[in-house]
Amino acid sequence: MLSTVLLRHLASQVEALYATVDAELRPLDTQVLNFKPGPNSWSVLECLEHLNRYSRFYNQELAQALQTQAPGQHPHEVGFSWLGRKSYDTVKPENGKKQQTIKHMNPAGSQLQASVVEEFLQHQTRLLQLLASAANTDLNRKAVRIEFFRLLKLRVGEALQFVVAHEQRHVQQALRAAQAAQGQRKEAVLIV
């Protein structure tokens, strides 16, 4: 895919994530945001906190990679390495297979407040800025460390696609948790 097309596509997806969380999750009360659909499921806030933990790492890594890159040929075809393809395929929303998260990225059992939603929205704003600044760089350059094994690096384009797909996956999970919480609340009202 051409770099210009990819960056436009990713920016559109991030804008959609921002709008969805802002409109559908931000207005919910803390009780709904903390509702867990099952004993091993994450609440809305746990889903978003998981993404915040990743954003704290990857937004910084991407900013550093974009800052130190020499200008690339533009537009250019953006490719995947084996590692990049594997990473992306693991987190893309269409992959229904449950993934085990690493311990320090697992927010289960955390005491979370609605400020988690605000932080998520701030990270999306920053990611949009990073996507805009990526327009003049070579997206095929390996420059972004992988969070759980920092000796390995992804290409800038791969990392951007990984981050956005990972966010889409967990925002969908957060929406399902919110829906379950609201369904539970309606049932409770009917029972009483």
Distance CA 6, CA 139 (A): 10
Return the closest-CA partner of residue 10 out of 94, 1, 44, 50.
1
**Quick one: which of 76, 93, 64 has its CA closest to 159?**
64
Q: How far apart are the first and last CA of the chain?
A: 56
In this prediction, residue 72 carries a pLDDT of: 64
Count other C-beta atoms under 10 Å from residue 186's C-beta.
10
Calculate mean pLDDT across residues 84-111. 84
- The answer to whether the CB of 78 falls within 8 A of the CB of 5 is no
Residue 192 has pLDDT above 60, yes or no: no
* 133 vs 71, higher pLDDT: 133
CATH topology of domain 3-191: Four Helix Bundle (Hemerythrin (Met), subunit A) (1.20.120)
Determine the 3-state secondary structure of 140 from DSSP.
Answer: coil
Segments in the chain forming alpha helices (H): 3-20, 30-33, 44-68, 82-91, 115-133, 156-191
Residue 40 has which token pair? 């091993």
User: How does the average pLDDT of the chain come out, rounded?
Assistant: 90
Q: Check whether 163 has a pLDDT greater than 90.
A: yes
Q: What is the largest CA-CA distance in the chain?
A: 65
Q: What are 31-69's pLDDT values in tens digits? A: 999 999 988 899 999 999 999 999 999 999 999 999 876
The pTM for the full model equals 0.90
The per-residue pLDDT for 73 is: 67
Q: Measured between alpha carbons, how far is residue 192 from residues 139, 185, 187 in Å?
A: 57, 11, 9
